[in-house]
Structure 1
Amino acid sequence: MDVRETAEYLNVSTSWLYKNSARSGLANYRFGTGSNAKIRFKVSEVEAWVKQQREIL
């Protein structure tokens, strides 16, 4: 999923994903370098992360 799709799925802003995804343990994959890099998320990893967050609460 791209950043927009992931943000909609998680009900967070895209800026939150850019700033906090790695810090919160949500793995992202960068394609390219610099400001033109594209960030993607694996659906299975996003779903696993959501499940893990529910268990913490």
Structure 2
Amino acid sequence: MRFMDLKETAEYLNVSASWLYKNARHSGLAIYRFGPGVNSKIRFEVSEIEAWVKQQRVNS
């Protein structure tokens, strides 16, 4: 498994880091936390992000 941090994921999705932090779960993105308490690091699994992007496709 490969992970991206919040900033990398936001850049990949072309959204702000604050939008991603606030809306990730609501949008269906899984958040992984590494470390204890408020100092934990937020990460996103690369293959899950790629699958989520494919699900966002709009058929016309």
Fold shared, TM-score > 0.5 on shorter chain: yes
Q: Cα RMSD between the aligned structures?
A: 1.7
Alignment gaps of 5+ in structure 2 = none
TM-score normalised according to structure 2 size: 0.83
Q: TM-score, normalised by structure 1?
A: 0.87
Q: Which has the larger radius of gyration?
A: 2
Q: How many residues align?
A: 57
Q: Which runs of 5+ in 1 are unaligned?
A: none
**Identity across the alignment (%):** 74
- Provide the rounded CA distance (Å) in 2 between the counterparts of 1:52 and 1:46: 10
- Regions of 4+ moved over 2 Å: 32-35
Q: With a CA cutoff of 8 Å and minimum separation of 6, indicate the structure with the bigger relative contact order.
A: 2
